[in-house]
Amino acid sequence: MSRAQEFDYLVIGGGSAGCVLAARLAAESDGTVALIERGRSDVNRWIHIPATFFKALQSQDAEAIVSAPDASLNGLPFPVPQGRVIGGGSSVNGMIYMRGQRKDYDDWADVHGCKGWSYSDVLPTYRKQEANARLDNEFHGRDGRLKVADPSSPHPVSHRIISAAISAGVRASDDFNGASQEGAGWYQVTAADGQRQSAAHCFLRPELGRGNLTVLTEHLVCRIRIENRRATAIEALDATGAAVVIRARREIILTAGSFQSPKLLMLSGVGPRDELLRHGINLVHDAQEVGRNYQDHVGAPVTRRLKHDIGIHGADRGLKALKHGVDYFVFGKGLLTSNLLQAGACVDTSGSGRPDVQFNFAPFAPGAPGKPPLGFHAVQVHPMTMRPKSRGRLGLQSTDPRAAPKFETEMLGREDDLDTLRRGVRLAREIYEQPALKEIVGEEIWPGPDVSSARGSNRLDDSIRSHARTIFHPAGTCRMGPDGSAVVDLELRVNGVSNLRVADCSIMPALVSGNTNAPAMMIADRAADAILRVDRTG
């Protein structure tokens, strides 16, 4: 027999968006709030030490959603790791704080019709959230909860890559979130004082003592109950596998991310008619775009061997690991305070007037997709698409809520995206040839010295297709828009159903030109504004 509970607000998904939203609703409304997360609490020590995020990604606190074989990737699948823990992506990501470009948000408003979501509309929310350690101006705030800082213990190899990029003609930048995103320099990061600054740490934890806030971990939400087109409750399985029903007096808000939010809508009867009927799900609302419009940044890291042991390979083993542990736990300094992905560049490679390729710079290099990092000292200059045109889609494998969604991609299906990576590879190779880097790097590992990057090189195309990988920024599968065909309206209410919203990166009509952790928190904060307006006006 199902156990029943009741709250005013149910927030489904305890990631970056869910932590922000639940915290605000608990602090600023008179209602009771339940934050429901299928993963566990953020007890994993690897989460909180900035440099060990790779270990967190390889733990039970993350899972990979794997696509069907993708013809545009030479038949390889496209795995996309996702956090499954309180804090979500903000607990396992690389901690880069980058919001995207002004024009991204202006396009949301002007091209996609999302009035109220322009850059001037969202900037106040970003500024309000920020506690920036260095910057305090029209683009940044100092009084928020999210600690944003320059990277700790900047690595000398990353410093050399920045210098080389500038020598190659990229201008210097000291703020990727300021007046212009273009340039090369040090990122700002959500790590400070030797601690990852996750959404759970910054927003949720300060509110946990409130009597009106309940956090339910290890609860798998199976479906949303929708009665007379009104969302009334969720059905879930708790940590023991027992069935529970949790009722919502006011609203249910999905913050489960770009894979799980559309999956839950479909399991609840909101989605493409044919997809739902195929699985015997009672149709509540024929929403053709649920699960469509999937987009992600795609990268292909140009890697070279370092001539000397000056990278971070082996830093987690033996005497090196012992030294780094002492530096961190005793003195609060050193490599472990670093997010490792400390530097990068945003470059206009197409002449369009705005950056179209982001580069991550790092003193280590990943292996092929799905493989461990290279087993020697190496360096990466990693180009990534910033505004991909290729799209994928999600469906259902089955009605089993434990099953991953059906994931179909064509991540380099559009020639524009492949061409963007070609340009990125060419510039990465040019950066390596600059004096600051040339004297410390050895052989090229990928694409390899026998692969030409000249225009018309089919070998380069094949190499990119085989080496391309996610940049962990899935978006778009519950598109926001002013039209009835959009999944959610401009206040993130699900079309066709009352008392139900979606507030995560799945609502993006187009992926922003940057990392998605900051936008996820911004979206949640603006959703809280909309919900609290209803709460205050009755």
Closest CA to 88 of 18, 26, 147: 18
What is the Cα–Cα distance from 135 to 137, expressed in whole angstroms?
Answer: 6
Beta strands in 326-468 (DSSP E): 343-347, 357-362, 378-385, 393-395, 406-408, 441-446
- Give me the active site residues, please: 473
DSSP lists the bridge partners of residue 4 as: 245
Beta strands 393-395 and 195-196, pairing class: unpaired
Contacts of 297 (CB under 8 A, 6+ apart): 358, 384, 385, 386, 388, 470, 471, 473, 511
d(CA 431, CA 494): 47
What's the rounded Cα separation, in Å, for the pair 189 and 183? 17
3-state helix, strand, coil in the chain (%, to 5): 30, 25, 45
The upper half-sphere exposure of residue 325, i.e. CA atoms within 13 Å in the direction of its Cβ, equals: 9
The dihedral through the CA atoms of 527, 529, 532, 538 has a sign that is: negative
- Determine the distance from the C-alpha atom of residue 515 to the mean position of all C-alpha atoms in its chain, rounded to a whole number: 6
